[in-house]
A and B are shown apart, each in its own frame.
Chain A
Amino acid sequence: QVQLQESGPGLVKPSQTLSLSCTVSGGSINSDGYYWSWIRQLPGKGLEWIGYIYHYGSTYYNPSLESRVALSLDTSKKQFSLKLSSVTAADSGIYYCAREVHLTTWFDFWGRGTLVTVSP
């Protein structure tokens, strides 16, 4: 059973960069056929896909966030990471990492989520 666990600061100051990592266990981060994704849930709102990274290093981002997002991968640590720059209070919410099945684009395993608050 694949497990994902988010980690990172729960409080970020406005205009700074939000940085989170996701550690994968119970499966290989190098498996073909899966993308490693970040999804967020803002207060009172639904789910918003942020972007994904493939184990070869290729990335794809939500166009609405693309100018502020960067994903990276460390296969030796079985981790992938999110950086979101120039954050504002509107970026406060729960951030999930998830595994996306490539060909049919569904998210089969999710982390428990981590709450990030943007505040001075």
Chain B
Amino acid sequence: NFMLTQPHSVSESPGKTVIISCTRSSGSIADNYVQWYQQRPGSSPTPVIYDDDRRPSGVPGRFSGSIDTSSNSASLIISGLKTDDEAEYYCQSFDQSPVFGGGTKLTVL
């Protein structure tokens, strides 16, 4: 199985845009869809992006996803940051079984 590597933490100010990366260690990022989950403290993860760039119903348009084959990575882009976006974010893909990234703590300050 490949690994998905995320930065441990990112921080940005309210109203700004933040990009969280997820780099695949082997194979192409385009080989399998990438998903993103938001986990607030004390809560279970909830999906914010699936199939690389699709938003589940109810997720605001401020959340978007993309993949970049040149860097072999996926990105979660959150625009118009709100303090409520402060959470841990996990990317997830699939090889022979589901694989999760280590998570990125987003601080909105």
Contact = CB atoms under 8 A, between A and B. Distances in A.
Contacts, number: 56
Interface stretch (A12-20, A25-33, A42-50, A76-84): A42-50
Task: Pick from B90, B92, B93 the residue with the most CB of A within 10 Å.
Answer: B92
B32 A105 contact: yes
A46 B44 contact: no
A100 interface: yes
A105 B33 CA distance: 8
Please classify how large the interface on chain B is, using the bins under 10, 10 to 19, 20 to 34, 35 or more: 20 to 34
A112 B42 CA distance: 9
A63 B95 CA distance: 12
A106 B92 contact: yes
Contacts of A62: 97
Please classify how large the interface on chain A is, using the bins under 10, 10 to 19, 20 to 34, 35 or more: 20 to 34
Given A47-B100, A62-B97, A107 B33 contact: no
Given A96-B44, A110-B44, A112-B44, A105 B94 contact: yes
Contact of B47 (A37, A48, A107, A113): A107
B97 A47 contact: no
Interface of A: 37, 45-49, 60, 62-63, 96, 100-101, 104-108, 110-113
Interface of B: 32-33, 35, 37, 43-47, 50-51, 56, 90, 92-94, 97-103
